[in-house]
Amino acid sequence: MFPDQSAVKVRHGALVIGSRRERWITLAVVLAMAGVALLALVRLEFSFARLGSGIVQLGTFLGMMVPPTPGTQLWMLLKALAETVAIAFLGTLLAAIIAFPLSFLAARNTMASRIVRFFTRRFSDSIRGVDTLIWALIWINVVGLGPFAGVLAIMTSDIGSFSKLYSEAIEGIDRRAGEGVISTGGSRLHAIRFGIVPQVMPVLISQTLYYFESNTRSATIIGIVGAGGIGLYLAETIRTYEWDQVAFIILMILATVAVIDHVSSRLRLALVGTRTGKL
């Protein structure tokens, strides 16, 4: 039933083994990658001795984390955690609202002008290329410390991401719905409103919910640099070696992210599944 492998190898040896030039190229690429990795290990001062001592120190810290306790500031931690979730929610929502019209300017099937598409996409790429933490440091210097800077940081970072994701979703729709609206005398705006938006809205909401869960973690990180939320308490307890409180804060964050992830997953499945079922 199966062909003789040795006979196949004889007849198609060049395809199975490859040419000598291809083998030399493969060997050169592997050696180059190994050389770069070795150089990186040397330049970055990689040390197994330091890694071993660090693991021992990590074990000591993990032992000090048991049992996790909030200390005397449970209420303050809960308030800070709620603030972190609020930062993530408001930043994500504002970014989605701003990115929604931008995505139509960046999509090929809704914006005919190449110049407008080019500048809209480059604007989104420029914003998206800067990490949320850097945006937080920038906004802290602009508007001062606090949750407002955190909201602006997440909003700014997500505008670029949402514009790209939304525009790709718009470009992937079925164009017949929009063409049907225009064929009945509707304008291009009517085609967008009644032909495109109903198709892409479940996908856009699904992507926004996914980013909300991700931004909850990001809001914790930017809180460490002064953008409000639970991150500030986490950094302070690490600095003062209160590892039992560090463990409690981490558990609070993990539980919150798990709940948000579960709820957003159910909502995403409900939205996309319902829409798919109707189609």
pLDDT tens for each residue of 5-60: 677 666 666 666 667 788 888 889 999 999 999 999 888 888 888 888 888 888 88
Prediction pTM value? 0.77
pLDDT at residue 196 greater than cutoff 90: no
Angle value at C-alpha 218, between 82 and 210, nearest 5 degrees: 90
CA distance 177 to 191: 8
Confidence of residue 4 (pLDDT cuts 50, 70, 90): low
In angstroms, what is the C-alpha Rg of the chain? 26
Predicted confidence at residue 277, as pLDDT, reads 44
Q: How far is CA 43 from the centre of its chain?
A: 30
pLDDT at residue 2 greater than cutoff 60: no
What are 34-45's pLDDT values in tens digits? 999 999 988 888
In contact, 120 and 163? CB cutoff 8 Å = yes
What are 126-184's pLDDT values in tens digits? 888 888 889 999 999 999 888 899 999 999 999 999 999 999 998 888 777 777 877 77
